[in-house]
Structure formats: C-alpha cells, structure tokens
Amino acid sequence: MWRDSRRLQIFCLLMAVLAIVVLVHNFFQLEHMDDDTLSGSSWITENNVQRSLSQTTKTTRKPYCAYKQQALSKRDQAEQESLLAAIQWPKPPDGKIAFVQSTDPARSDFVIVKPSGFLRVGDQLEVLVRVKDFQGKPKQYGGDYLQARIHSPLLKAGATGRIVDCRNGLYKVFFTLLWPGEVKVSVSLVHPSEAVQVLQRLREERPDRVYFKSSFKSGRYSETTECNVCLPGDLPICNFTDLYTGEPWFCYKPRKLSCASRISHAKGGYQKGLLTQEESLFFQSDVNIKRPILSSGPDSVIVKPKAFTDSSSMDRAEDPAVSPSGYYYEDQWMSRTHWIHHFNNTDDITKCLQGKVIHLFGDSTIRQWFEYLTALVPDLVEFNLGSPKNVGPFMSVDLKHNILLKFRCHGPPIRFSTVFSSELRYIANELNGIVGGRNTVIAITIWSHFSTFPVEVYIRRLRNIRRSIIQLLDRSPKTLIVIRTANVQELGPEVSLFNSDWYSFQLDSVMRKMFSGIAVHFVDAWEMSLAHYLPHNLHPKEVIVKNQIDAFLSYVCPLQT
C-alpha cells in the first residue's frame, strides 16, 4: 500500500512539472509570436519597416485615441467647448456639391468701397469681395478661406486686413491705412469652402494621415514600429504617455523586444489616397489654391498724410489684440502694440543679450532664431553636443559676454528625422525645471506639427504649457516669456492636406485665446509673413526672420520711452 501511495505521489509530481512546462511554453509563444520571420542576429531592412508600417495603417478598424478617454475638469471642459465654438467654420449647404459649383477665384472679384472723402493715414478702407462658381454664378453661402493685404511695393510696405464672412457669397475686408502714398489691395483665395470641409473631415477622421515610427534595439537586434497619438486596431501597444503632463503617445509593441528598449523617434511618412477623385478637384495649384482674386475696378487708393492735429501715438494702440498688430515700412516691421528697436548693429544685440540665458522651445521655425543669432553675433559660438542636424538639442555660448543660447524641439508629435528617445522632452516639463529670473528669457512656438490632429489634442498641449508658464511666473515673476505665433506657407495639393494655412490659422487662433491675459508677449509671425512681399514659405526668408528677432529683442531690451 505504501508503494502504491509513493507511485501516486511521483505521478502527481510529474503531471505538475508537465503542466508548468506547457504553461511556460505557451507564454513564450505569446510573447515571441512570429519568431520564425525574424533572426535575432540580423538588422531589419528599411523595406521591411515600410511594409510593416503600411500593413498596420491599412486596417479599417477605428483608431485608438486616448485623448478622447481622458476626463477634463468642468473648467477645462467649458474652456475647450468655448475655444471650439470660437473657431467653428461656416459650412456649405447639406448635400454633395459639384466642382463646377465651387468657388472659382478667376470669376470672383472685389471692389473698393468708395469713401465719402479723402483717405488719410489712420482711416479704414473697406473692400467687398464677391465670389462666384465656375459657371459664373454668384455663390449664396460662405466658408471660403481668404487672405488679404495692402501694400506699396516701392516703399516695401505692407499690412494685413481683417476679413468678415457675410455667409452669403460676400466678404468684407477692412484695412487700417498706416502709411501715405499709393496703396494697393490684394485678395487671394486660399481654399474654397468645399475644400475647407474636406480639410475638416480629414482632421477629425484621419489623424493618422501622418504616421511616425520608433526604433527599439537590444544588442545587435532591432525592430521598428509605428507610433502616434491614435493607433488603429487592437494590437499590443507600448504606452509612452507622459507621467507628468498626461500627454498621450503610443507605439505598436515590438514582437521580440520590450517597450523599454526604444531608442529613437522619427517621422514615418504621409498617407496617400486620402481624397476621392471629386474631392481632389478642390485642391489644384493653378486653379483654386492660393489664387488671386482680381478687382473689377481700381485696385489701389491714394492715402494722404494724417492731419497735423492727429495724435502722433496713433500707431501705438494699447489693446494687444489690435488688428493689424503691425505693418512693414521700408522692409522694417513697425509694431502697433509695442515699441520696436531695429537691431542693425551686432554690438547692440550682444549688449542686449549680455548675461542672459535664452531658451528656445518648439519646431524648426524657432530653430531659425537659434541659427540666425548664432551666425550673426560674433562671439556666440555653437557648442557641439553631437545632436543630429536640424533636430537638436543645440547650444551656443558667448563666454566673453556670458550669453547662453539653447534650442530644444518640443515633444511628439514632431515630424523630424531621428530624435533620440532621451531627447524627447515636453515643453511643460522643461519649463518646470527652469529656475527663472530677470536674466532668463524663454521663447516658445508650437503649431505646425499639430495640424493633422483634432484641435482637442492641441488644446491639451497648450493647457499643460500654460500651467507651467503660470507656475514659473509665480515663482520668478521677472522671467521673460515670448510666444512666436504660426506663419503662412507655400501650399500645393499635397501640402494642403497636412499643413494648410487654414489648419495653422485655426490653431493660431486657439493659441492666442488661451494665452490672453497672461504675462507673455507675442511675436506676430503670422502677420509678418502674410504682410510681406516675399512668397510664402514655411521657413520665412532672412529679412522676415530679422524682423522677428528685432521684435523679440525689443521685449528683452525694451526702449525707454
């Protein structure tokens, strides 16, 4: 009997060991699915990476968008609803609209509303824009995205206008006349209302139309997977949501490596085939993207100098929301919100920045400031941090005058080439680590890389940055903080779907509202790029950057008035 009991114990022990072996084997299989397709000692080729990315983006399942699941406080929810309502765009009538019924800039026109008397500097000029379709019929609804400016080419002068959509096919444009002489009016159709509706649909339904990737590596073995704020399907993911700000970011989990083995982030590419054949007709470079609308009569007016009795401080309005915020005259930006000193001498720039630590946070448009100052200031020398070109972080030092200039890109989403994972920093977190003080200067821009996402994603990012700014100013009130706004750029059929001026305009409007009433200053890069005579460019030319720097430094070293 004892022998039978012994045999039973041995049998039970063997069964337990077998069960453990089976369990471990199954677990291993789940963790290392498709092991036979990859060799642990080989590198993944770029073709395999692209094939893997394209396979994951072809799924028809709805994306996983964590920002929709994050609860907001009542105050944040009310603010978000108010912001979204403020940028709500007029919609065309319900139903499908044929291309021939869409706005034709060649058949549309504008007229200058004749004033009752002479026009003088400081007066308002009104222009009426009448849009028509490709059949020459007046449109009965609004929603077109227009841009307008006044300019005097010989004076290298220019300013933007304020556009009012009457929502019946008519638009009113109001210009403040800011210099004497002959002033010409220019109006352009950026997108017809039908195209704007397509852009809205893409923003809400296809936030994955720009995709990103991250590399994971252990030893000689590496994998690359797709990343985004929203990921389609239900594959295993790595959750890289920031612990401090709650900013969501996800990557598909590598098949063999852990999430902790991520080494880099990069832009993956742009999705194709986003439009139907009919929708693509609304995006044609020589037809309806940034095309001029001509005047049916005179396109210029003569402006007389202001009367001697007029106030000499007319162009220094107290309201920071004044429109326009400034104007060009002889290629120099004249702000209407603060006095600008034009730093034409490098010694003046050095004197202004002496003893300062300048932090530049954002994208490549503020990296231009870093590059401009480093190239211009004689004793400011870039310190090689071994960072990837055009990515950063970057640092320049002037030991003689105790100047430290730093640039760091904002956290994802960012469409840069390879960024090391250790250098993926959120602006809010960086601000929390700055002591601040009278010798600390901070400049921020963040807009372009958010154009493909629902506005709620952008609002969340700005809310975190704003909170950190308020905390920084609370502990160090003398810290100077400057916000560089968005700017216009050259557009074509493809760029319009990802980085249209309409997207940028909407984000810029949100940003200005969210930072109003806070002790920050603005460099109005939007008006500086739109009012200038040079062609629009995502990265404005040096003459425009120079004027941005003048406005920036005028906050750092304000003129004594």
From first to last of its 561 residues, the chain has per-residue pLDDT tens of 445 556 666 666 666 656 555 444 443 333 333 333 332 322 333 333 333 343 333 334 455 676 677 789 999 999 999 999 999 999 888 878 999 999 999 999 999 998 878 999 999 999 999 999 999 999 999 999 999 999 999 999 999 999 999 999 999 999 999 999 999 999 999 999 999 999 999 999 999 999 999 999 999 999 999 999 988 888 999 999 999 999 999 999 999 999 999 999 999 999 999 999 999 999 999 999 999 999 999 999 999 998 765 444 445 543 456 789 999 999 999 999 999 999 999 999 999 999 999 999 999 999 999 999 999 999 999 998 988 888 889 999 999 999 999 999 999 999 998 999 999 999 999 999 999 999 999 999 999 999 999 999 999 999 999 999 999 999 999 999 999 999 999 999 999 999 999 999 999 999 999 999 999 999 999 999 999 999 999 999 999 999 999 999 999 999 875
Residue 484: closest CA among 436, 518, 440, 528: 528
Report pTM. 0.87
Q: How many CA atoms lie within 13 A of 359 on its CB side?
A: 22
How much is the pLDDT for 20? 53
* Residue whose C-alpha is closest to residue 132's, from 196, 199, 189: 189
Q: What pLDDT was estimated at residue 561? A: 52
Separation in Å, CA 253 to CA 26, 209, 226: 19, 20, 9
CB 394 within 8 A of CB 407: yes
Q: Are 329 and 155 in contact (CB under 8 A)?
A: yes
Angle between helices 455-475 and 74-86 (to 10 degrees): 120
**Half-sphere exposure of residue 356, counting CA atoms within 13 Å on the CB side?**
23
pLDDT of residue 8: 60
Q: For residue 259, give Cα distances in angstroms to 119, 347, 364, 391.
A: 67, 50, 29, 23
Annotated domain spans of the chain? 99-194+285-303, 210-270, 338-556
Q: Cis (ω within 30 of 0) for the bond into 477?
A: no
Q: How high is the pLDDT of residue 308?
A: 63
Q: How many CA atoms lie within 13 A of 255 on its CB side?
A: 16
Torsion sign (Cα): 24, 26, 32, 37: positive
pLDDT score at 476:
98
pLDDT of residue 46: 36
Determine the pLDDT at residue 26: 42
CA dihedral 330, 335, 341, 346 (to 10 degrees): -70
User: For residue 50, what are the CA distances in angstroms to 57, 144, 212, 345, 521?
Assistant: 11, 37, 11, 50, 43
262-270 and 291-295 strand pairing: unpaired
Give the SS3 label for residue 241.
Answer: coil
Q: Which residues contact 318 (CB under 8 A, 6 or more apart)?
A: none
Which residues are CB-neighbours of 510 under 8 A, at least 6 positions away? 83, 86, 87, 455, 458, 459, 462
Count of other CB atoms within 10 angstroms of residue 212: 23
Give the right CATH number for 99-194+285-303 from 2.60.40.10, 3.40.640.10, 3.30.565.10, 1.20.1250.20: 2.60.40.10
CATH architecture of 338-556: 3-Layer(aba) Sandwich (3.40)
Q: What is the dihedral sign for C-alpha 352, 356, 362, 367? A: positive
199 touches 287 (CB < 8 A): no
Q: What are the Cα distances from residue 36, in Å, to 53, 96, 285, 389, 476?
A: 19, 50, 48, 37, 58
Hey, what are 48's tokens? 């395999």
User: What are the residues whose beta carbons fall under 8 Å from the beta carbon of 421, sequence distance 6 or more?
Assistant: 214, 262, 263, 264, 265
| Helix residue ranges per DSSP H, 73-208 | 74-86, 193-205
Compute CA distances 6 → 10, 13, 84, 489, whole Å. Answer: 6, 11, 76, 84
What DSSP string runs through 257-294? S-GGGEEEEEEEEE----S-HHHHTT--TTTTSSEEEE
